[in-house]
Amino acid sequence: MTKPVRVRFAPSPTGALHIGGIRTALYNYLLARQTGGTMILRIEDTDQNRFVPGAEEFIIESLKWVGIAIDEGQSVGGPYAPYRQSERKHLYKKYVDQLIASAKAYYAFDSEGEIEAMRIRLKAEGNDNQQYGIHSRLSMRNSLSLSEAETTQLLESGAPYVIRAKIESGHQVVVNDLTRGSVTVQSDTLDDKVLMKSDGMPTYHLANVVDDYLMKISHVIRGEEWLPSAPLHVLLYQYLGWQNEMPEFAHLPLLLKPDGNGKLSKRDADKMGFPIFPLTWKDPHTGEVATGYREAGYLPQALINFLAFLGWNPGTEQEIFSMTQLIDSFAIQRIGKAGAKFDIQKAQWFNQQYLRGKSNEELAIYLMDSLSKENINCSNAVAEKICGLLKDRVTFPQDFWLQGKFFFKAPTSYDEQVTNKKWTQEAVTVLTQYANQIKKSDTITADVAKSILEKVTSELNVGTGKILQPLRVSITGGASGPDLMATIEVLGVEEATKRIEHALKTIPIK
């Protein structure tokens, strides 16, 4: 019988969750939803020195914002609570004791200075491997090199110690990875990692394996940076006698800088001007504020769609996938091995697609929101019309205001490239006529605005091509924008005429 799918997202609250963490959570979530399994959130906070206040709340809020629901775990509870590792300290001791009893782990009393001295010595001897492990452990101060009496005496005297895994020599450790196939490592290349620290807290390795076992995790889906740790985890399952309960592993490809050269970092993102965190984060230590995807105007569905494609593809041409479609189409077998380039332009493209997919009524909410902040009154009907006109030109919700300001504020300056080149006597004559003509009617539609323009230009024998830009600049101040005739319709006769006449008075003829 196959095990029920239970996956976990297991971030450490050591700072703001990186956008790559959302991708990891997403792939776990997709598998859970596809299989009717359980999505678990576990907080891996055993490294108390690196704990950052607010980081856990940030994780929870970020997941909520992107629509990744947690079935069990921190913030919702469940049968394997607590889900914060610092609250599970008492559970790990039993397993580390078991490892010591079966000679798969040992006490080590070395100071940092002693470990450093060992490295220097091995290096001087020309030894490539300077790890604390198979080749060096017997020259160190631990329960393998000391007599039983010495060890007992040290333990009883309260001397500080850690507990290390005793990696057995001469084994081939096989990690079966669902994305990379089988990866084999010689045990002699592994070091005797610390499993329990001197403060009695387990390290990530021990806590991670014990919790995955206790929480009956079926698949460990996590970033590639954990692949080097996987052989140790496989060995721990064996040493603890849990080899039959070992989860399946899938290590996700790295997220690379946009040019593909190296891992994406916060510094790269800052330099290139795009967010690295899902939500805005204020660093509690430095006070530095980093804008998040949410605040920058990315829609959660667009961000999810973008992230889904960073490492996975459906094998078809389809690019737009709702969460439901992702759940249906996702397959671990289609996750690539090669690092995924983080192309922010693609993220923006997804955002545009999702904005375009919205009705004018939905989009008007964004514009109305900006307008109320600016204390500008506008009817819903007009806001909808404006959004309809701008829809194909915007990337972010705030662009409706940024690109549509001129609907509400007459221009105070005019694009100089246009005025220098095209504000000729001819253009001025046509625009004067045009203003006089449109003034005659109370209301104007885009079609009427256009036919009047055609009539005036043909009477004066001037090509419309020469007039469109001067007309646009007089109405909007800018050289480009949405459909000009439709813009005139939205502004209405009075406002449009006023603007043309103001431009005629203000802009010197070339």
Stretch that binds ligand GLU, among 59-67, 156-164, 218-226, 345-353 (CB under 6 A): 218-226
**Site size with ligand GLU, rule: CB under 6 A:** 9
Of 41-60, binders to ligand GLU (CB under 6 A) are 44
Three-class DSSP category at 246: coil
The upper half-sphere exposure of residue 140, i.e. CA atoms within 13 Å in the direction of its Cβ, equals 31
User: What is the nearest approach in angstroms of ligand GLU to the Cβ of residue 148?
Assistant: 35
Cis peptide before 82 (omega within 30 of 0): yes
Residue 64 annotated as catalytic: no
Supply φ then ψ for residue 257, to 5 degrees: -55, 160
Among 222, 251, 257, 391, binds ligand GLU (CB under 6 A): 222
Instruction: Tell me whether residue 206 or residue 220 sits nearer to ligand GLU (CB atom).
Output: 220
Instruction: Tell me whether residue 46 or residue 370 sits nearer to ligand GLU (CB atom).
Output: 46
Instruction: Tell me whether residue 204 or residue 309 sits nearer to ligand GLU (CB atom).
Output: 204
Of 123-182, binders to ligand GLU (CB under 6 A) are none
Instruction: Tell me whether residue 10 or residue 444 sits nearer to ligand GLU (CB atom).
Output: 10
Instruction: Tell me whether residue 11 or residue 481 sits nearer to ligand GLU (CB atom).
Output: 11
Residue in 266, 341, 405, 498 annotated catalytic = 266
User: What is the nearest approach in angstroms of ligand GLU to the Cβ of residue 165?
Assistant: 16
Beta strands 255-256 and 340-341 are: parallel
Of 443-472, binders to ligand GLU (CB under 6 A) are none
Instruction: Tell me whether residue 43 or residue 496 sits nearer to ligand GLU (CB atom).
Output: 43
Stretch that binds ligand GLU, among 8-16, 125-133, 282-290, 359-367 (CB under 6 A): 8-16
In order, the DSSP letters of 264-316 are --HHHHHHHT--SSSS-EE-TTT--EE--HHHHT--HHHHHHHHHTTTB--SS
Tokens of 487: 């813009």
Question: What's the angle, vertex CA 285, arms to CA 61 and CA 18, rounded to 5?
Answer: 40
Among 65, 80, 226, 408, binds ligand GLU (CB under 6 A): 226
**H-assigned helices in 189-264:** 204-214, 230-239
User: What is the nearest approach in angstroms of ligand GLU to the Cβ of residue 220?
Assistant: 6
- Say if CB 325 and CB 374 are below 8 A apart: no
- Say if CB 308 and CB 26 are below 8 A apart: yes
CA separation for the pair 227, 230 (Å, rounded): 5
User: What is the nearest approach in angstroms of ligand GLU to the Cβ of residue 28?
Assistant: 9
Instruction: Tell me whether residue 220 or residue 438 sits nearer to ligand GLU (CB atom).
Output: 220
Stretch that binds ligand GLU, among 7-15, 181-189, 366-374, 392-400 (CB under 6 A): 7-15
Instruction: Tell me whether residue 195 or residue 386 sits nearer to ligand GLU (CB atom).
Output: 195
Q: Does 11 interact with ligand GLU (rule: CB under 6 A)?
A: yes
User: What is the nearest approach in angstroms of ligand GLU to the Cβ of residue 19?
Assistant: 14
**Residue 9 β-bridge partners:** 41
Q: Does 12 interact with ligand GLU (rule: CB under 6 A)?
A: yes
- The amino acid sitting at 458 is S
User: What is the nearest approach in angstroms of ligand GLU to the Cβ of residue 44?
Assistant: 4
- Say if CB 196 and CB 228 are below 8 A apart: no
Q: 93: which residues sit within 8 A by CB, 6+ positions away?
A: 196, 200
Q: Does 208 interact with ligand GLU (rule: CB under 6 A)?
A: yes
Among 5, 10, 194, 209, binds ligand GLU (CB under 6 A): 10
Q: 354: which residues sit within 8 A by CB, 6+ positions away?
A: 299, 301, 302, 305
CA separation for the pair 136, 111 (Å, rounded): 15
Which residue reads 């010495």 in tokens?
150
Stretch that binds ligand GLU, among 5-13, 154-162, 353-361, 428-436 (CB under 6 A): 5-13
User: What is the nearest approach in angstroms of ligand GLU to the Cβ of residue 45?
Assistant: 9
Stretch that binds ligand GLU, among 4-12, 271-279, 460-468, 496-504 (CB under 6 A): 4-12
Stretch that binds ligand GLU, among 219-227, 253-261, 319-327, 495-503 (CB under 6 A): 219-227
Three-class DSSP category at 423: coil
The percent of the chain in helix, strand and coil, each rounded to the nearest 5, is: 50, 10, 40
Q: 19: which residues sit within 8 A by CB, 6+ positions away?
A: 255, 275, 276, 277, 278, 293, 307
User: What is the nearest approach in angstroms of ligand GLU to the Cβ of residue 233?
Assistant: 8
Binding site for ligand GLU (CB under 6 A): 10-12, 44, 204, 208, 220, 222, 226
* Residues assigned a catalytic role: 266
